[in-house]
Amino acid sequence: MEQIDVKILGREYRLAVSGDTKDQLLEAVRIVDEKMTTIRDSGRVSGVDRIAVMAALQLAHEMLGASGAAGAAKQTAMLGRVRKLREDVDAVLERQDSLF
């Protein structure tokens, strides 16, 4: 596993990733950062926790909006990636919490 450093909403996170999923993870980071930045910049939601929840809800809503067989396959694949990303982020946050 490779360790990569990424930034989401101006905060740095170190994630473990296998070589074959690195590009997908980096794309997921870009999408999440873009969504969270848009929500923060709207000024309607404050606090990183609330921004993260709103971004997750919007992304899940978009994912569920896909239709047809191709949409179902994309949903399944995306759910797997989202679960893996969530696990990776949770692991990083858990390690960072122990630093403070």
Number of other residues whose CB lies within 10 A of the CB of residue 8: 20
> Is pLDDT above 90 for 7?
yes
Structure confidence at residue 70 (pLDDT): 65
Structure confidence at residue 78 (pLDDT): 77
Structure confidence at residue 17 (pLDDT): 87
Structure confidence at residue 10 (pLDDT): 92
17-24, long-range: CB within 8 Å, 24+ apart, which pairs?
A: 17/88, 21/84, 24/81
pLDDT in tens, 23-49: 888 999 999 999 999 999 998 888 888
Q: What is the mean pLDDT of residues 6-10?
A: 93
Structure confidence at residue 88 (pLDDT): 82
pLDDT in tens, 54-84: 999 888 888 777 665 666 777 778 788 888 8
Longest Cα separation, the chain = 47
